[in-house]
Amino acid sequence: MIMAITCENLTKKFGNLVAVDNISMSIPKGSIYGFLGPNGSGKSTTIRMLCGLMDPTSGSGTVLGYDIRKDSEKIKHHIGYMSQKFSLYEELTVSENLDFYAGIYGLDPSKALHRKKELVEMAGLTGREKQLAGKLSGGWKQRLALSCALLHEPEVLILDEPTAGVDPVSRRIFWDVIHQLSEQGITILVSTHYMDEAETCDYISFIFFGRLLGNGTPQELKDHYHVDNLEDVFIQFVTNAESGSESDG
């Protein structure tokens, strides 16, 4: 099995605060990998290190064979990244945002036009091309942000809490798109705290206070802990982790 993303003993400290604590994981090419945990657990910090946006304090990692320390610029050109906060230009239209990011990625005009058409159709944005991004609802904004992240046809797509604050119907539509992209061979790392989203991932891992508590397929984890849902798996992980901390103290 070929891995698109790997990290070993990845750690990030901010002074005395350990935000990410010696995590190791491997993400197979073409899979959807769910990164689960509550807010403040270290998901976003891990993602920023893997994207080459933040240097780790220690440990190592690769994305598509590129070293996250030495090859951060190369990584940025081969991945699509969608941050938790809407980061497009609200005063520009849907079409203008796509044009802007096509320029950032250096797409030639004919290629940009073709990709824009493809992505507008994929995201269901047809008819909204002239609408200001700032006037879109949360769900439509996320679809536009995803389209911008896909313009340069990345092999890896990294999504940080892409559906936080989005209504249930929009979440379902967004995840339908994610699965379509996976079927095209794109590797997807997505952080979430919604367990229903995690159920549809190929692999998942749980992070809590910067520590990776466990990983596997959703069914493997449920079978191992003899439970029917991932929320109960996470409760088991947290209970075990807290018990271990108490015994250590």
pLDDT tens-digit readout, 21-44: 999 999 999 999 999 988 888 999
Q: Which residues contact 28 (CB under 8 A, 6 or more apart)?
A: 1, 2, 3, 4, 187, 202, 203
Encoded tokens for 82: 């969608």
Q: What is the DSSP letter of 201?
A: S
Is 249's pLDDT higher than 60?
no
Q: What is the DSSP letter of 137?
A: -
Query: What pLDDT is attached to residue 239?
Result: 82
What's the gap between Cα 131 and its chain centre?
27
Give tens-digit pLDDT for 58-67: 999 999 999 9
Query: Three-state DSSP class for 185?
Result: coil
N- to C-terminal Cα separation, the chain: 40
Q: What is the largest CA-CA distance in the chain?
A: 63
β 156-160/79-82 pair status: parallel
Would residue 40 be called left, alpha or beta, if left means φ above 0 and alpha means ψ between -120 and 50 degrees? left
What's the gap between Cα 6 and its chain centre?
14
Q: Structure pTM?
A: 0.90
Give tens-digit pLDDT for 109-124: 999 999 999 999 988 8
CA distances from 9 to 58, 90, 164, 180 (A): 7, 39, 28, 32
CATH 3.40.50.300 fits 3-87+155-248, yes or no: yes
